[in-house]
Amino acid sequence: MKDDSRKHPFRDSQQDVQAARHIPDTPQTRAPAYRLAFNDNDFMCREELRPVRLQLELLKPQLVMDERGIESTIVLFGGARIPDPAHKDKAGTKTLADLSKYYTEAQKFAYIMTERSMAAYGRENVIVTGGGPGVMEAGNRGADEAGGQSIGLNIVLPHEQAPNEYVTPDLSFNFHYFAIRKMHFLMRAAAICVFPGGFGTLDEMFETLTLIQTGRMKAVPFLLFGKEFWEKIINWEALADAGTISANDLKLFRFVETAEEAVAVIDGWPT
């Protein structure tokens, strides 16, 4: 954390938080009204404070990544249920077991890109995932094995979700708002890689494609790993034939199968 003590002459807010722990115990000091507003969890979680919470959730990861000097990221979206090939015998379906090969490709791809990132002192092309299991774990794992840092953008869910063990601890974030989390996925994105997945992966993929299609986000290398999977669940050509998207929209992304092919497409992507 930056030391801002010399920027202004006022007493530091953290000092007041510490001082508040040593005040006399009286009915007045125990009352919720007496709590410092920014240190009052009940107050901060009020419905009326939602705009403030949205701002804070946007600002905290932004400041941390700025302080770490991270300039660009490589985004990995993909299914939390896709297993490590070493454990594919425990997959719930044969299809998931077969898709375990993409865990390997995500891990390998992240390793290659992280080696490149380290050549830029870890500031560019930093791997970012949703921080969970499956493809996300593979991405963070590949970065860790390359000796570099990677980002995990976790989200609080009704069922327990913890960061996978390969996320760089200082870059392991947690979100309440899906919208703010999505912004942090894309604010520094130099490339988007989408692996087979479920509703969450589809949501992230289509929202990002929509941002690029509508010019709200600049076009970046957009790679779909697993052509057979994606063409089975989405009839891309039917969308174009129906006129609901244009034929040119099909050029916003490329299909790839391997980490090496993905790297080659990124390197040859039109600028």
User: Does residue 175 contact residue 156 with C-beta atoms inside 8 Å?
Assistant: yes
Q: Residue 197: name the closest of 205, 189, 185 by CA.
A: 205
Q: Give the tokens for residue 162.
A: 């913890």
- 50-89: per-residue pLDDT in tens? 999 999 999 999 999 999 999 999 999 999 999 999 998 8
Phi, psi of 13 (to 5 degrees): -65, -35
Closest CA to 157 of 235, 80, 105, 101: 80
Q: Within a 10 A sphere around the Cβ of 164, how many other Cβ atoms?
A: 23
Question: Residue 31 carries which DSSP code?
Answer: S
Calculate the average pLDDT of the chain: 93
| pLDDT tens digits along 207-264 | 999 999 999 999 999 999 999 999 999 999 999 999 999 999 999 999 999 999 999 9
Q: Could you give the C-alpha distances from 159 to 129, 178, 179, 267, in angstroms and in order? A: 19, 15, 19, 39
Q: Tell me the pLDDT band of 2, cut-offs 50, 70 and 90.
A: low
Q: How much is the pLDDT for 20? A: 67
Check whether 35 has a pLDDT greater than 90. Answer: no
Which of 12-16, 21-25, 194-198 shows the lowest mean pLDDT across its residues?
Answer: 12-16
Question: What share of the chain in percent tops pLDDT 90?
Answer: 81
Complete domains list, the chain, with CATH: 24-67 (no CATH), 68-268 (3.40.50.450)
Nearest of 247, 202, 251 to residue 222 by alpha carbon: 251
